[in-house]
Amino acid sequence: MSILTPEEWGIIALSLRVSLAAMLGILPIAFALAWALARVRMWGKIWLDALVHLPLVLPPVVTGWLLLLAFGAQGPIGRWLADWFGVSLLFRWTGAALASGIMALPLMVRAMRLSIEAIDPKLEGAARTLGAGAWRCFFTISLPLAMPGVLAGMVLGFARSLGEFGATITFVSNIPGETQTLPLAIYSAMQMPNGEGLTLRLALVSVVLSLAALVGSEWLMRRGMRAGMRGSGGV
Amino acid sequence: MFEIDVEIRRSGRVIAAACNAPAGLTGLYGVSGAGKTTLLDMVAGLLSPDQGRIVVGGVVVFDKDAGVNLSPQQRGCGYVFQDNRLFPHMNVRDNLIYGMRRKTKGRNGVAVMSLDQALEFLGIGALVARMPQSLSGGEAQRVAIGRALLSAPRFLLMDEPLVAVDRARRDAILRLIERVRDELGLPILYVSHDRGELDRLAGMVVELG
């Protein structure tokens, strides 16, 4: 493809890598939180719920700054990571993935929580009377029935990560080849003299990727809705 | 077969029940809200009583004072629910074999029944590839009975199994339940609000509420 230069392909590849890592990395945490919010009776649930949604409403620059405080060289988690594993997320693509993942978390939790709440606990009770232990019940009944929401949450989280800007640039800066994802590259291109062409091409790529993610998520939702309708039809 | 003496507080109301049921089919009779389903759920282990003791076929499954409370999967009960509760994401065959992995401790009821025998016994061989939501009420209830029987239960709990079944199919299911009672020799607790149904099926009727 001669429309895009190798550098531009590199930006797209980095963006996809960061978003995929963000979504997959945050997935187990998002699912656990969704499960806890949907199912576990606990004190202070309203606060946990608020905390999960915080990245959705907080200025992204604040989220990025908080990450910097926690994961920076002097931050509690940053120092612990450096001491025990010799790694730092600062100015690395892994740090960009962390920032994107945190920003995607609320959307993923929302989608999954809805479909977990829609599971009839009586079906799980039926499985228990048929001899299934807690784990078999989870993997054969709860998880398959929650799957539409899990898949929709994954696509939404991935799409949200692709567009992440504020928290990423605050936390890991804007380093070509390492942390410069599509939105950051577009931001840089806009400030370059004669960068209009590059801006336009990258913006078009953004539109195409976002459209693909939205159509994909809509398709999954519809499939899930059909499965859900099948699920509730018999009773 | 069933020695039950329990008490539970549900939404501010105390439901108490005591009965000593012999082998065979025992009917639980009472108006709606008398706690019939609550009692079955306690025997199955889906609800824990606040007080009391439940013994089934000589096995103590719940005893508040002795601190015994077997989990549902340990109790070996075949529970046929009022709303059938077939798993919506599995076809009839997968629903039927879901409980076949259980190794029931102690006296095995009908562990001998194979899937093919169950299909024959219940007349549902043609349904195996269907999804539950495509079944009629009567078909779904027969599958639910089959799923309970195939889980090698020590005893059966049936909660108004005829409610979702149209009138024309009721007699067939009633005959089927009579066969389960007579040929398999499983102790059965059977909930209904229809006295005639119980007079036909039950050796003893316990009135609740």
CB within 8 Å of chain A, chain B residues 128-187: 131-135, 140, 147-148, 151
- In this complex, is the C-beta atom of B106 within 8 Å of any C-beta atom belonging to chain A? no
Please indicate whether, in this complex, the C-beta atoms of A231 and B102 are within 8 angstroms of each other: no
- How far is C-alpha B35 from the geometric centre of its chain's CA atoms? 15
Contacts of B37 by beta carbon, 8 Å cutoff, 6+ apart: B82, B159, B191
Nearest CA in chain B to A120: B85
Please give the Cα distance from A206 to A155 (Å, whole number): 15
Q: What is the pLDDT of residue A224?
A: 66
- Taking contacts as CB-CB distances below 8 angstroms, the residues of chain A near B88 are 123, 145, 230-234
Please give the Cα distance from A6 to B181 (Å, whole number): 76
Q: Which of B87, B97, B143 would best serve as a mutation to test chain A binding (most A beta carbons within 10 A)?
A: B87
Cβ-based neighbour number of residue A4 at 10 Å:
16
Interface size between A and B, measured as CB pairs under 8 A: 77
Q: What is the pLDDT of residue B106?
A: 45
Please indicate whether, in this complex, the C-beta atoms of B140 and A128 are within 8 angstroms of each other: no
In order along its 235 residues, chain A shows pLDDT tens digits of: 467 888 899 999 999 999 999 999 999 999 999 999 999 988 889 999 999 999 999 999 999 999 999 998 888 998 898 888 888 888 899 999 999 999 999 999 999 999 999 999 999 999 999 999 899 999 999 999 999 889 889 998 999 999 999 999 999 999 999 999 999 999 999 999 998 999 999 999 999 998 888 888 778 777 766 655 444 433 2
Q: Which of A119, A128, A130, A226 would best serve as a mutation to test chain B binding (most B beta carbons within 10 A)?
A: A130
Q: What is the pLDDT of residue B1?
A: 83
Residue of B85, B87, B109 whose CA lies nearest to B97: B87
The DSSP code for A67 is H
| pLDDT tens for each residue of B151-198 | 888 899 999 988 877 787 788 888 889 988 888 888 999 999 888 899
Question: Token pair of B148, please?
Answer: 């309970």
Question: Which of B72, B89, B151 has the CB atom closest to A144's CB atom?
Answer: B89
Residues of A with CB under 8 A from a CB of B: 120, 122-123, 125-133, 140-141, 144-145, 227, 230-235
Question: Which of A131, A145, A233 has the CB atom closest to B101's CB atom?
Answer: A131
| pLDDT tens for each residue of B129-156 | 999 999 998 899 999 999 998 888 889 9
* pTM exceeds cut of 0.90: no
Question: Which of B134, B135, B147 has the CB atom closest to A130's CB atom?
Answer: B147
CB B156 within 8 A of CB B186: yes
Strand-pairing partners, residue B4, are: B19, B54
Please give the Cα distance from B73 to B127 (Å, whole number): 27
- In this complex, is the C-beta atom of B113 within 8 Å of any C-beta atom belonging to chain A? no
Please give the Cα distance from B60 to B4 (Å, whole number): 10
Q: What is the pLDDT of residue A60?
A: 96
| pLDDT tens for each residue of B34-75 | 888 999 999 999 999 999 999 998 899 999 999 999 999 889
Please give the Cα distance from B178 to B197 (Å, whole number): 11
Q: Which of B85, B86, B101, B143 would best serve as a mutation to test chain A binding (most A beta carbons within 10 A)?
A: B85
Q: List alpha helices for chain B, DSSP H.
A: 36-44, 72-75, 92-97, 115-122, 137-150, 167-179, 195-201
